[in-house]
Amino acid sequence: MELVLNVEPRSDESGHANRVRNQGMVPGVVYGQGKEATTLQFREMEFLKVLRSGGVSQLIELRGLSGGSVHALLRDVQRHPTRRTVMHVDFYQVQMDVAVRTEVPIHLEGESPVIKGGAVIIHHLDRIHVECLPADIPEYFKVNLARLVEIEDVVRISDLAIPKGVTVHQDPEEVVVSLSMPRVLAEAEEGTGEGAAAEPEVIRKGKAEEEG
């Protein structure tokens, strides 16, 4: 899926970036693959819509520059430390016939039957590093949680449906999603043979599981 962002050329003169922000615009730059860096500006609200539509990893068509439309990937977004408004954005211009490396997000769908018994879903990876032609960048990789039917079950990178022409640059045995039984529930099941039902929960790798 290709997204579109309307942009305007921007002056490099001193202090111009601040004037751009005061007008509700965001200063930015596009560079890459042998192209001279071009400064630009665009409306923050329009940029945020592109982000919500998948602009973090998807190809973005920048329209409005003097040389015509440019195809680019998002490389960096600088935000204000307290207000979290967008302060500056870097885009990387691509050539449609030259492969690029990027990250593709992972989407979870469905429901594992094990969570009805109190198991917790652990999401180890949010994104996967891939290489492909810009037009072949997947929108996301889908993981169906319904395939997790036992507490020992896991989904690895090798279990994902990788489109033709896309190369994954990570260990295929790396775990994407797994299940865990909270300690209190596990101890209760060992003592009584049954555990209380719990609501589904998804936690990120690196965050401690809640006990009790």
What single-letter DSSP state applies at residue 165? T
Looking at residue 1, its pLDDT comes to 62
- pLDDT reading at 62 higher than 90: yes
Q: Which domains does the chain have, with CATH numbers?
A: 3-97 (2.40.240.10), 101-204 (2.170.120.20)
Query: DSSP strand E in the chain: where?
Result: 3-6, 8-9, 25-32, 35-43, 60-63, 70-79, 86-93, 100-109, 120-123, 127-132, 141-144, 154-156, 167-168, 175-180, 202-204
Whether the per-residue pLDDT at 7 is higher than 50: the answer is: yes
pLDDT band (50, 70, 90) for residue 198: very low
pLDDT higher than threshold 80 for residue 51: yes
Q: What is the pLDDT of residue 33?
A: 72
Higher pLDDT, 22 or 26: 26
Average pLDDT over residues 41-65: 92
pLDDT at 161 over 70: yes
**Predicted local distance difference test score (pLDDT) of residue 43:** 95
Q: What is the pLDDT, as a whole number, of residue 54?
A: 87
pLDDT at 67: 80
Whether 95 shows a pLDDT value over 60: the answer reads yes
User: pLDDT band for position 55 (50/70/90)?
Assistant: confident
Q: Give the range among 11-20, 84-93, 125-134 with minimum mean pLDDT.
A: 11-20
90 touches 75 (CB < 8 A): yes
Residue of 121, 125, 129 whose CA lies nearest to 145: 121
Q: Is the pLDDT of residue 193 over 70?
A: no
Among candidates 81, 84, 71, 99, which has minimal Cα distance to 7?
A: 71
